[in-house]
């Protein structure tokens, strides 16, 4: 028999993160009134999928005929305010093989027919970065009061046009739009894994499509100082860098200036991070002394001066000093001295929090998982990166998490709550840098976050961290509507890109457990033959979407190593005829910041920790793995040789071939055993039916419906 004797701390935690959260999400009446900026009717009846969805939008009965040649008219004034938008619009039209010409007109002058007009409008567009967009049968009118507003109007127009070009009948609309938060950013760690400027430009393009205005460039870390230094060329010497971590790769000042120029054309500001005094293992071997020493601080002051001399303040108004995850004897003196140097160069200072004690006026970037105001002890302006690590979640749970994210714990930003930055930390060595986008599910996460930070969220519901809301609730309907829009963007705008996401919110399961047993208790392996013994209502709840990202590792100290637990899922699939289907199927996925995980399963198994899937009471056998039983590391691997082993496709259920499943005619039972086999396990399970689309990509198979009951 399974031992149900509970350790009180274990019971408390598991109930909080698994059963109680899920159960409460089914019955909590407050969820029924969850709302967004728009009604479900507004969202679901839109003729095209817009992300982020405009704040005010009205569709009209008009249709604008897209012709083979167009005139773009700009009123006679300083065209620098419309330059970025015009460049983007010309690129869009060229991609559609549409000829365009620019015409300058005086105010009141009669305009050509069927043209696109740009007008400076500070009456209708009162918010920074806001814009208006009017599409009628007579043409298009774009209004804004600043450079970013015009640019974002074109990005919305881009989404509308590219989703209707086959008919060339562009739907009429009246849009007034503006952001809830003034800073909307993406951080990429290129200190540990170098990426070329060309790759970063591609990322900037896509960020700008979704109205991100900040690229946080983390380009110094333990393996290397990546920016060029003319005064200390030894920083760029491969012998002073970590072997195997792109030791020959640096960003010249010309590279940095070019990326900044490219970003500015897309209304993106780059915030470079010169991480100090932590995350800098390269420093002491290079110079022979520590950063926090007097000699070290003198070197850093000269490096700050050099960087600021090479990169003008107009191009780089903020310098990020890092300052996190380090203990030094002089924390206050160090951060005060480095901050003063940045300010002497007329820049604002930004640091991580938690980190060294920031000075008054410093911008604090908040991280960790416990809420955007949890670590704030000052009145300084702040940026929210709580729960914002793409690499920390699997490809499906991060979309749910970011969709319901309330940035800065408030609906809109201000001069203190600046906005949010979502981060990608691929700490583990990467060979094929293009796979960073795949393994970290960058684009599904980024696009989802764009709506949360542009539109804002009226409140935050922590239950959605580990569980989707129940079917039938308003919150569930909003999430499902967004999943549909996200899928349309995947299909329309990311043909050749890694976009690991398929809609999963339409599945529903019965969850039983967790059931506690002694470590090594072989009786747990009987799960199928004694299924009836675990079918009791005390431990039984209905869940939507399966178990996603139930991570007990952060509170692992509360667990007794001798006590483990197992949860069980049951679902049913009906098919009118026998057939083969496919599904993304997976249990545990490493965090990409380190290799802590059960590793690759043994051949013919699906889970290295003993999990299993049964179809109609027959075990679904796993594949023959390329590295069966490999990469099993049950503790974090930071600073250890295991972190120098690159990930492979078979380590993530969304990057490997889906499972093949034979279904019989009628009802088919899916039964899943999900054990927690060690203290710091990332406890999750995913089962997402998929099918190949016309481009050969695996996308949701909406013909396969998983039900909690046979009905």
Q: Is the pLDDT of residue 555 over 50?
A: no
Give me the pLDDT at residue 528, please. 43
Does residue 112 or residue 10 have the better pLDDT?
A: 112
Give me the pLDDT at residue 467, please. 80
Tokens of 17: 């993160």
Q: Is the pLDDT of residue 231 over 90?
A: yes
Instruction: Tell me the mean pLDDT in the region 560-574.
Output: 77
Q: Is the pLDDT of residue 554 over 70?
A: no
C-beta neighbour count of 290 within 10 angstroms: 15
Instruction: Tell me the mean pLDDT in the region 212-236.
Output: 98
- pLDDT tens for 592-648 read 999 999 999 999 999 999 999 999 999 999 999 999 999 999 999 999 999 999 999
CB 113 within 8 A of CB 101: no
Least confident stretch, 105-119, 585-599, 683-697: 105-119
Give me the pLDDT at residue 652, please. 96
Give me the pLDDT at residue 4, please. 30
C-beta neighbour count of 412 within 10 angstroms: 15
Give me the pLDDT at residue 451, please. 97
Give me the pLDDT at residue 388, please. 83
Give me the pLDDT at residue 29, please. 42
SS3 170: strand
Contacts of 324 (CB under 8 A, 6+ apart): 278, 279, 351, 352, 353, 354, 355, 356, 367
Model confidence at 371, pLDDT cuts 50, 70, 90, reads low
Least confident stretch, 255-259, 463-467, 493-497: 463-467
Least confident stretch, 128-142, 570-584, 673-687: 673-687
State CA 363 to chain mean position distance: 22
Instruction: Tell me the mean pLDDT in the region 706-710.
Output: 92
C-beta neighbour count of 23 within 10 angstroms: 19
Question: CA of 556: how far to CAs of 47, 550, 568, in Å?
Answer: 48, 12, 21
Instruction: Tell me the mean pLDDT in the region 35-62.
Output: 93
- Give the chain's end-to-end CA distance (angstroms, integer): 32
Instruction: Tell me the mean pLDDT in the region 399-427.
Output: 95
* DSSP secondary structure letters along 186-225: EEEE-SSS---HHHHHHHHHHHHHTT--EEEEE-EETTEE
Give me the pLDDT at residue 375, please. 63
Give me the pLDDT at residue 385, please. 95
Q: Could you give the percent of the chain with pLDDT greater than 90?
A: 73
Give me the pLDDT at residue 559, please. 38
For residue 659, cis peptide bond before it (omega within 30 degrees of 0)? no
CB 588 within 8 A of CB 704: no
CATH 3.20.20.80 fits 183-460, yes or no: yes
Model confidence at 151, pLDDT cuts 50, 70, 90, reads very high
Instruction: Tell me the mean pLDDT in the region 667-684.
Output: 89
Least confident stretch, 129-138, 194-203, 402-411, 671-680: 671-680
Give me the pLDDT at residue 33, please. 60
Contacts of 142 (CB under 8 A, 6+ apart): 85, 116, 117, 118, 119, 131, 132, 133, 150, 153, 154, 157
Contacts of 64 (CB under 8 A, 6+ apart): 114, 135, 136, 137, 138, 139, 140, 169, 170, 172
Give me the pLDDT at residue 526, please. 43
Model confidence at 372, pLDDT cuts 50, 70, 90, reads low
Q: Is the pLDDT of residue 10 over 60?
A: no
Does residue 559 or residue 342 have the better pLDDT?
A: 342
Residues of the chain with CATH 3.30.379.10: 56-177
Model confidence at 539, pLDDT cuts 50, 70, 90, reads low
Q: Is the pLDDT of residue 386 over 50?
A: yes
Least confident stretch, 1-10, 282-291, 355-364: 1-10
Q: Identify any residues that bridge with 214 across adjacent strands, giving them in sequence order.
A: 185, 269
Give me the pLDDT at residue 181, please. 98
Right CATH for 56-177 from 3.30.379.10, 1.20.58.220, 3.40.50.300, 2.60.40.1930: 3.30.379.10
**What does DSSP assign to residue 561?**
T
Distance separating alpha carbons of residues 262 and 205, to the nearest angstrom: 9
CB 40 within 8 A of CB 143: no
Q: Is the pLDDT of residue 538 over 80?
A: no
Model confidence at 241, pLDDT cuts 50, 70, 90, reads very high
Residues of the chain with CATH 3.20.20.80: 183-460
Distance separating alpha carbons of residues 253 and 262, to the nearest angstrom: 14
Instruction: Tell me the mean pLDDT in the region 230-248.
Output: 97
User: Across the chain, what does the average pLDDT equal?
Assistant: 88
Distance separating alpha carbons of residues 271 and 142, to the nearest angstrom: 30
Give me the pLDDT at residue 540, please. 63
Instruction: Tell me the mean pLDDT in the region 66-77.
Output: 87
Give me the pLDDT at residue 680, please. 83
Distance separating alpha carbons of residues 284 and 292, to the nearest angstrom: 10
Q: Is the pLDDT of residue 177 over 70?
A: yes
Model confidence at 567, pLDDT cuts 50, 70, 90, reads confident
């Amino acid at each position: 028999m399974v031992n149900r004797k509970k350790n009180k701390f274990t019971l408390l935690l598991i109930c909080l993160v698994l059963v109680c959260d899920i159960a409460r999400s089914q019955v909590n009446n407050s969820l029924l009134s969850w709302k967004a900026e728009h009604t479900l009717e507004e969202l679901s009846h839109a003729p095209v999928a817009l992300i982020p969805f405009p704040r005010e939008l009205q569709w009209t009965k008009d249709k604008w005929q897209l012709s083979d040649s167009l005139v773009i008219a700009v009123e006679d004034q300083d065209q620098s305010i419309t330059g970025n938008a015009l460049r983007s619009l010309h690129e869009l039209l060229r991609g559609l093989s549409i000829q365009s010409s620019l015409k300058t007109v005086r105010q009141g002058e009669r305009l050509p027919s069927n043209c696109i007009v740009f007008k400076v409008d500070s009456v209708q567009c009162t918010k920074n970065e806001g814009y208006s967009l009017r599409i009628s049968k007579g043409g298009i009118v774009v209004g804004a009061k600043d450079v970013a507003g015009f640019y974002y109007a074109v990005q919305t127009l881009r989404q509308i046009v590219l989703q209707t070009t086959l008919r060339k009948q562009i739907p009429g609309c009246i849009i007034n739009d503006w952001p809830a938060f003034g800073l909307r950013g993406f951080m990429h760690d290129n200190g540990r894994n170098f990426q070329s400027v060309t790759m970063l430009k591609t990322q900037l393009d896509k960020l700008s499509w979704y109205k991100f205005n900040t690229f946080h460039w983390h380009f110094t870390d333990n393996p290397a100082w990546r920016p060029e230094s003319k005064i200390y060329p030894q920083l760029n010497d491969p012998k002073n860098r970590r072997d195997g971590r792109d030791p020959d790769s640096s960003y010249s000042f010309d590279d940095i200036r070019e990326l900044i120029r490219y970003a500015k054309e897309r209304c993106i500001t780059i915030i470079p991070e010169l991480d100090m005094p932590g995350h800098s293992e390269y420093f002491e071997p290079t110079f022979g002394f520590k950063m926090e020493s007097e000699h070290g601080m003198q070197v850093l002051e000269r490096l700050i001066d050099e960087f600021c001399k090479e990169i003008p303040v107009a191009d780089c108004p903020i310098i990020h000093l890092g300052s996190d995850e380090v203990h030094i004897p002089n924390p206050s003196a160090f951060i005060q001295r480095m901050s003063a140097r940045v300010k002497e160069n007329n820049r604002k200072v930004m640091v991580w929090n938690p980190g060294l004690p920031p000075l008054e006026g410093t911008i604090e970037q908040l991280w960790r998982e416990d809420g955007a105001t949890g670590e704030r002890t000052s009145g300084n302006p702040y940026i929210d990166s709580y729960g914002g690590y793409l690499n920390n979640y699997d490809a499906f749970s991060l979309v749910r998490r970011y969709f319901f994210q309330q940035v800065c714990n408030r609906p809109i930003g201000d001069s203190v709550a600046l906005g949010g930055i979502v981060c990608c930390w691929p700490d583990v060595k990467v060979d094929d840098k293009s796979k960073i986008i795949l393994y970290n599910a960058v684009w599904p996460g980024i696009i989802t976050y764009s709506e949360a930070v542009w539109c804002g969220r009226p409140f935050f519901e922590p239950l959605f961290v580990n569980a989707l809301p129940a079917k039938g609730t308003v919150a569930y309907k909003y999430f499902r509507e967004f999943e549909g829009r996200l899928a349309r963007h995947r299909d329309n705008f990311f043909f050749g890109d890694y976009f690991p996401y398929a809609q999963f919110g339409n599945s529903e399961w019965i969850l039983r457990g967790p059931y506690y047993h002694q470590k090594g208790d072989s009786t747990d392996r009987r799960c199928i033959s004694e299924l009836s013994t675990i079918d009791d209502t005390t431990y039984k709840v209905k869940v939507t979407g399966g178990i996603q990202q139930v991570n007990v590792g952060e509170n692992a100290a509360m667990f007794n190593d001798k006590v483990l637990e197992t949860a069980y899922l049951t679902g049913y699939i009906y098919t009118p005829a026998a057939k083969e289907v496919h599904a993304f199927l997976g249990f545990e996925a490493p965090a990409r910041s380190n290799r802590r995980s059960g590793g690759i399963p043994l051949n013919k198994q699906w889970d290295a920790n003993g999990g299993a899937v049964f179809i109609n009471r027959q075990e679904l056998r796993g594949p023959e793995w390329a590295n069966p039983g490999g990469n099993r590391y049950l503790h974090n691997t930071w600073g250890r040789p295991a972190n120098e082993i690159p990930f492979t496709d078979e380590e993530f259920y969304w990057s490997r071939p889906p499972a093949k499943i034979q279904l019989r005619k009628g009802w088919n039972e899916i039964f899943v055993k999900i054990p927690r086999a060690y203290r710091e396990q990332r406890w999750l399970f995913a089962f997402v039916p998929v099918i190949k689309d016309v481009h050969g990509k695996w996308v949701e198979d909406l013909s396969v419906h998983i039900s909690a009951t046979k009905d």
